[in-house]
Amino acid sequence: MKNLRRRPRVFLVSLVALVAAALFGGFVLSGGAQASIAGPGGRKPGASHALKGVGPAALSAAGTKNLKAWAADQLKTDGQRRNHALVVRAAVPAKSAPANAVRNNKATAAEPAAFRTTAAKATTARTVTVKPLAATAATGTSALVLYDTTGPYGSLGELYAMALANLSGHFGTVTSKPVSAYTAGMVEQYTATIYVGSTYYGGSIPDAIPAAFYQDVMATSKPVTWIGDNIWNMANTDGIPAFEQKYGWDPTNSYFEVNGSVGNINQVSYKGRTLTRTIPTGYDGGILHPAILSGAGYPQVTQLAQATDANSGATSPWAIRSGNLTYVTEIPFTYVSESDRVIVMEDLLFDALAPATTERHRAFVRLEDISPGSDPTQLRTMADYLYSQKIPYGINVIPEYTDPRGVYNNGVPQTITLAQAPQVVAALKYMLAHGAVLMNHGFTHQYSNVNNPYTGVTADDFEFFRAHIDANNNVVYDGPPAEDSTVWAQTRVTSALGLFAAAGLPKPALWTTPHYAASAPDYRVFGQNYTARLERSLYFAGTLSGGAVNASQYIGQFFPYAVKDVYGTTVLPENLGNYEPVPYNNHPARLPADLIAAAKANLAVRDGVASFFYHPYYDVTPLQQTIDGIKALGYTFVGPMDLAQ
């Protein structure tokens, strides 16, 4: 997720990695990147990277471990369904369902209602109330997000539901609950309903979806978005001919594998944009290949997005729509990137929740990791360039620099506050007078006097989360510190705000969490102290259910527009990452061309933002190249406070 900056003395990138980078795209360090920073210890900038925070799967280690087993089980169960060997038991008797309610496909006989069993008790539903954030959202817009909780991978359902609830929080009120808690007529109470199917019902896992939901989806005129599994059970419950005649395709004859393989689907085309899809071998549960029907009596099925197999060149619908039903062929919240097919999902929500939205593309840039140890001359150089281009921007400031073990000060501990760095403060005031908005980037941007995971020095390390580097040079998240609590987080925030005041600076309106990692209570504290957070975030299991938060199960997410998230806080977008000329911790270099390419992919979001950050210790030239490229795509740069509009 967030940039991590390390110094040359602890530089771990291998020569092989550097040679490979040079051969396959390469990089050149600018003079500014090589120059010393005028600050504590005469420090030099080291490599940094756009850390996702939770590994390539956008999930915690526990969640990622589940993904591989989940993918294998999905394909195994889907194979049983294809071979007419899958028995699906309904959790709740479908009183008004047709006789073929529990058929697996057209060749499978119905299972008597007496054979159905009761599903596990539904998790308590929780409602997240938000106000519309987008100018295009109509007052009163509401979304119902339904998710699975049963089976061995039931924990994944809540993680995906949080991702959907967060995105839906761009438009208005969001209600999230387990699909097993659905009651008849509920779809009529909301502007739109979204179901994410992450538990493949069948065999030992009874169908936890009430028959009333299947029937209401067919009967309502309200938009329904169905993602992933179990759409075939709806066809079986409502009657396959009825489903075919209303929607024009047959999910009971649609499967995740073609010729026994999920293939190598590595891109999705949408609205003229080519988006990426990168999933490691063994973790891909495939996309469902819809069996679209043609001929008299069948309505037209609109292919909204199309997937392409890199090996065969074959294409298949990735998202389709007919009648009131939009179907997305996979859950797109794992293995995401700044140019990933999740962008399709982010834009499709406008169709359901704000269809009258006008096309608009805005951009935002912030300068990162500014502290009392920063070079005032570099800060003024950045300010002069951005002001000359009439570009408003954010400045992320850490109010206290500390090197508790003297790592960069010859072994002598060192701490400097803003008030003790008058030249830096003067530069910050100059920036504020030339288009900048002050943002708070933690108290010290490091934790205690230990490596977390690098040096224990400000801007190097995490502040609100513990982490270490494993033997394979990966940053591993260990969880919140032992002393983490609402009081502990508030104390650090209060200390930070006191240092801004002591330096004669205004209170920052916005917050960015150091390295984008904190606990659920911490995020709520930040939201209570600032107008909004501008960042990527972690979302923990237990948040929707109202139960104990599980610090080992979470999903990381970034947004293309402002949202009110499941913590009840406003989050402004950062979806492009940052300029990094050197690969680091198994993350590739990111050059201006990469940021521009990500901005181009995000043009598919009809009212989206291209938001990135830049470290002022680099030369201004890559920043100029990035801004020029994003402008050329048609984006208009705005200030951070404009992003919530």
Tokens of 626: 């990035």
The arrangement of secondary structure in 142-353, i.e. its CATH architecture, is 3-Layer(aba) Sandwich (3.40)
Confidence of residue 11 (pLDDT cuts 50, 70, 90): very low
State the pLDDT at residue 552.
Answer: 92
Question: Residue 139: what pLDDT?
Answer: 58
Percent of the chain predicted with pLDDT > 70? 84
Range of weakest confidence among 128-132, 180-184, 371-375, 476-480: 128-132
- pLDDT, greater one: 272 or 24: 272
Question: Mean per-residue pLDDT for 609-629?
Answer: 98
Could you give the C-alpha distances from 448 to 206, 451, 462, in angstroms and in order? 49, 8, 10
Residue 558 has pLDDT above 80, yes or no: yes
For residue 252, the model assigns a pLDDT of 98
Rg (CA), the chain: 25
Residue 55: predicted pLDDT: 58
Domains of the chain by residue range: 142-353, 367-573
Mean pLDDT of 467-471: 94
Confidence band, pLDDT 50/70/90 cuts, at residue 526: very high
Window from 80-94, 326-340, 352-366 with minimum mean pLDDT:
80-94
CA dihedral (418, 421, 423, 424) positive or negative: negative
**Least confident stretch, 205-214, 251-260, 467-476, 596-605:** 467-476
Distance of CA 22 to the CA centre of its chain: 30
Dist. CA 214–CA 243, nearest whole Å = 11
Mean pLDDT for all residues in the chain: 87
Query: What is the pTM assigned to this prediction?
Result: 0.89
According to the model, what pLDDT value does residue 547 have? 85
The fold of the 367-573 domain, in CATH, is TIM Barrel (3.20.20)
| Least confidently predicted of 13-27, 52-66, 595-609 | 13-27
How far is residue 401 CA from its own chain's centroid? 30
Q: How far apart are CA 289 and CA 195, in angstroms?
A: 19
Averaged over 22-34, what is the pLDDT?
Answer: 28
* Mean pLDDT computed over 255-276: 97
Is the pLDDT score of 156 beyond 90? yes
Q: Are 439 and 24 in contact (CB under 8 A)?
A: no
Give me 361's structure tokens.
């593309």
**What's residue 645's pLDDT?**
84
Average pLDDT over residues 38-59: 51
Stretch 542-565: mean pLDDT? 94
Three-class HEC string of 545-569: CCCCCEEEEEEEECCCCCEECCCCC
Give the pair of three-digit tokens for residue 299. Answer: 């309505």
Matching residue, tokens 């989050």: 571
Tokens representing residue 400 in the block: 């206290």
Write out the H or E segment, with its range, that includes residue 490.
Answer: helix 486-502
pLDDT band at 297 (very low <50, low <70, confident <90, very high): confident
Q: How far, in Å, CA of 136 to CA of 612, rounded?
A: 24
Tens of pLDDT, residues 407-430: 999 999 999 999 999 999 999 999
Strands 436-440 and 414-417, sheet pairing: unpaired
**pLDDT in the model for residue 265:** 98
Backbone dihedral angles phi then psi of residue 368, each to the nearest 5 degrees: -115, 155
Q: What is the pLDDT of residue 585?
A: 87
pLDDT at residue number 172: 96
Query: Among residues 342, 343, 225, 232, which one has the least CA distance to residue 290?
Result: 232
